[in-house]
Chain A
Amino acid sequence: MAKLPVSVDKIIEQFGPHKSYTPKEGFEGNFEPDKIVKTHCCFCGMQCGIQLKVKDNKVTGFEPWMEFPFNEGRLCPKGVQRYLQNNHPDRLLNPLKRVEGVGFLPIEWDDAMEKTVSEIKRIQNEYGNNAFGMLSGVSLTNEKSYMIGKFARVALKTANLDYNGRLCMVSAGAGNKKAFGIDRISNSWSDLEHAEVILIAGSNVSETFPTLTHYIWQARDNGARLIIVDPRITPIARTADLHLPVLPGTDSALFGAILKILVDNNWLDKEFIQNHTSGFNEAVNAVKDYTLDWAEKVTGVKAEKIQKAAEWWGKAKTSFLLHARGIEHHTKGVDNVLSCINIVLATGRIGKPYCGYGTITGQGNGQGGREHGHKCDQLPGNRDITNPEHRKFISEIWGIDEKDLPGKGLTAYELIEAIHRGEVKGLISICFNPLISLPNNSFVREALEKLEFYVSIDFFLNETARHADIILAGSLHEEEEGTVTTAEGRVVKINEAVTPPGNARRDKDIIMELARRLGAGDKFNYENSEAIFNELRIASKGGTADYFGITYQRIEENMGVFWPCPSLDHPGTPRLWEDKKFATNDGKAHFNPVPFREPSEVTDNEYPVVLTTGRVVSQYLSGSQTRRIGKLVDQYPQPLLEIHPELASKYGIKDGDLITVATRRGEANFPAQLVETIRKDTVFIPYHWGGKQSANQLTIGTLDPVSKIPEFKVCACRLVHTGIKASDKLKETAYQSY
């Protein structure tokens, strides 16, 4: 059913990606805009404040927003260019339907809705409600995230709803819930400023969260020591006081060894451990054999470096530990996170000024989007869908019988596997491009091709939507009001700058219309985004992610409010745990034993090289937006294979040679970039591209047993020289995902 209706070239010709540039003399009217709208960047979890200039219902440019406290006007290249996603030639202006042999043709909304709803009903009647799944994304606002959670359970009546946060920070979320009972960074970024030691594990901050760099540099100006754990020397690591080039997949060994050193040297906060934590002895016991020599052997990091890191961390009075996808994208992602938390708890440096810990959430609303119920096991307020009390509370708010509320569904990658097995027959997706962002994507493509019906809501025809039967033209970030929660837990306001162009509609209106046609119209009767937010406030009340005290007005007045904020007179909570009352059952922070285990795939004679993946500064995730912005594409036009010259020489590889990288999942060709800034046993490929140059053709789809995050960050590969230099054509067309 869902193979491409015409050749990929034809689809690209019509729907892009095409590169968009600002005209030489600027967009018409940019010098004298009708209005300047304060809002936020549509990309990463920093959610930098930005002002968009609008003329004749088009975004024509931006003006830095100097007053917004997090970024004070600072932006990364994606933020500077974000305005170009508006006013874009690829923008979908009509709903589309797939026509075999022809491509995608515009249709009326009524027809698109009718077809969608009749297919949903047909599939659900034939195979059961759970045979229709839904995939969502956390670039969506809190309002939409909440609404989609409700839509899937109440209107679509399926358990199988999950989201792309599953590929983002679920390992951190699961680890944080285990250790603290709340899934949020413990501090606002301002606590970085005077931390004595900052340890960053698995985060290429300078490329993935460039505006956070300011806080780290500021801390260093104030004398902080910076320790970076990363197999590559990234720009943030270049001048770091200590760089630990860890072998991908061995982070928990490193942190286990550090914990042991802390214990051996008594660099502990015994009072804190005694009174406010549990499980310390078990955690220590699990690492008792993790000597420096052992750790050096496993992680490939020199013993003295590990010793030094432990010493700096152990002796510091204030500290901040940050991690991101580098340690989370593993089959032991949760373990890695817990091993970090263990060293934070051992030194008791949390819940105090300049003492912090947390994950750096990746996606725009990675924080808020993972709290309000569009996760397969979750209900709003970060409630548990398997908890009877939680089910009852939410069912009452939603006005449904608790028995009708579906239970826990499949996680994102499991959902794809279920589609592949033929158990799930229909799919609706919004704001998710799994064909690029999921591992082993040949498998994902096969799954998509098996779907009986696939409907995608999006503003551009992304690579996955090329396989859709119906595409519903939704709204861009700047076309709908709402709130998002930044990576530091600050709830901020996204303002509508323009209305959707052509016949495109706001996502909210599309979901509401679908709900109405599915017979749940009475439950989806929102006048505006604020009405949804007000329902979310009530639904989150009493949950761990409590938004009850946050209103649109308060957000606007204070340029954001930090949750938890349980009442209207509550000031919000920039720093958690100051009272040392943790949100776990026993009120204590939990140590967890983390015995080291290997990644799901290790190198062998056949596949002797470690492959890891990541991002570049000019692209964002699956690139659906950023591969359409000319200057961002030109900055880094195609994925390169970063390889150390020593490893390269074994294969006779020279800079610019075209190299086949093969894994057990597939193979693809990439130009080699010889750099001394990577481990000698590891190669790196960024993953933002689709088609033949997609790194995720190679990655492995094994999952963490708890968080179900795929192991993007480590697998085994083989390098084969193609014997030729990489061509310019490859470079010039990479962004289009042939």
Chain B
Amino acid sequence: MAVSEYNQEMEFFVDMQRCIGCHACEMACAECETNGQESMIHVHYIDRAVSVQTTVQVCMHCDEPACATVCPADAITKDNFGVVHSANTSRCIGCSNCVLACPFGVPIKFEESELMMKCNMCYDRTSAGKKPMCATVCPSQALYYGTREEIRKRRPESVPVNTFKFGELEVKTKVKIMMPKGATKIIVD
């Protein structure tokens, strides 16, 4: 409906090791107009008893989204910009398949409203040429939204990686994770 000013040169880069666990992104996420004061981003300790390591997880916007594939109600769609949208409210039946199938643990089921919601990379902002809320406010820039050229200049020793291996399964995503130079994939097993 709104005239889209989606700038496809802008990409989303994540580096969890820069995260300081402050939750600014989480608070800002709730300000995104598309999720009605609900936060879609995940920030938490990995194991507080041994470390203050935190992780931050936005939707990775998979090329072939597992969430959409396992959705029995065809409620999740990926658009031409590669953005995997939150569940279509009229279709979602609140079954939680997507919540459990997403390899990145992103979708959230709201039990009361029998609805799944997830990060759509602040579609209200990105489609209007603005940066997503989380990456805008992130004080550590663990979440970074900019061009590939910008990130290359700022972090020359790191490379953006968007291939993930879960066992034999390979998942490719729109959002990139910053890895040490030379890395081509992240192996999770």
Contact = CB atoms under 8 A, between A and B. Distances in A.
**Chains A and B share a contact (CB less than 8 Å):** yes
B15 to A, nearest CB: 9
A697 to B, nearest CB: 26
Contacts of B140: 206, 210, 213-214, 217
A23 B37 CA distance: 7
Of A75, A212, A236, the most chain B CB neighbours within 10 A belong to A75
Given A81-B27, A221-B154, A206 B137 contact: no
Interface of B is mostly: loop
Contact of B23 (A26, A71, A77, A211): A77
A66 B20 contact: no
A617 B23 contact: yes
A403 interface: no
Interface in B49-107: 49-54
A677 B36 CA distance: 37
B20 A235 contact: yes
Contacts of A617: 20-23
A23 B17 CA distance: 33
Nearest to B158: A221
B56 to A, nearest CB: 12
Contact of B48 (A62, A207, A675): A675
Contacts of B49: 645, 655, 674-676
Interface string B38-53: 0000000000111111
B141 interface: yes
Nearest to A62: B31
Contact of B137 (A75, A635, A675, A676): A75
Contact of A211 (B19, B21, B139): B139
Contacts of A210: 20, 22, 24, 139-140
Contacts of B10: none
A618 interface: yes
A234 B23 contact: no
Given A206-B20, A210-B20, A617-B22, A26 B37 contact: yes
B37 A76 contact: no
A668 interface: no
Contacts of B36: 24-26
A581 interface: no
B136 interface: yes
Contact of A80 (B33, B50, B52, B137): B137
Nearest to A234: B52
A233 interface: yes
A553 to B, nearest CB: 29
B23 A207 contact: no
A634 to B, nearest CB: 10
Interface string B151-165: 000111100000000
Contacts of B18: 217
Nearest to B153: A221
Contacts of A57: none
B50 A676 contact: yes
Interface in A660-702: 673-677
A22 interface: yes
Given A212-B139, A221-B154, 12 more contacts: A23-B37, A25-B36, A26-B36, A74-B141, A75-B137, A77-B22, A235-B52, A617-B20, A631-B30, A645-B49, A673-B48, A677-B50
Interface of A: 21-26, 31, 61-62, 64, 66, 71, 73-77, 79-81, 206-207, 210-214, 217-218, 221, 233-236, 238-239, 617-618, 631, 635, 645, 655, 673-677
6 contacts: A22-B30, A76-B139, A79-B137, A221-B156, A235-B19, A635-B23
- In the A-B complex, the 5 residue pairs with the smallest Cβ-Cβ separation, listed nearest first, are A206-B20, A235-B20, A80-B27, A210-B139, A75-B137
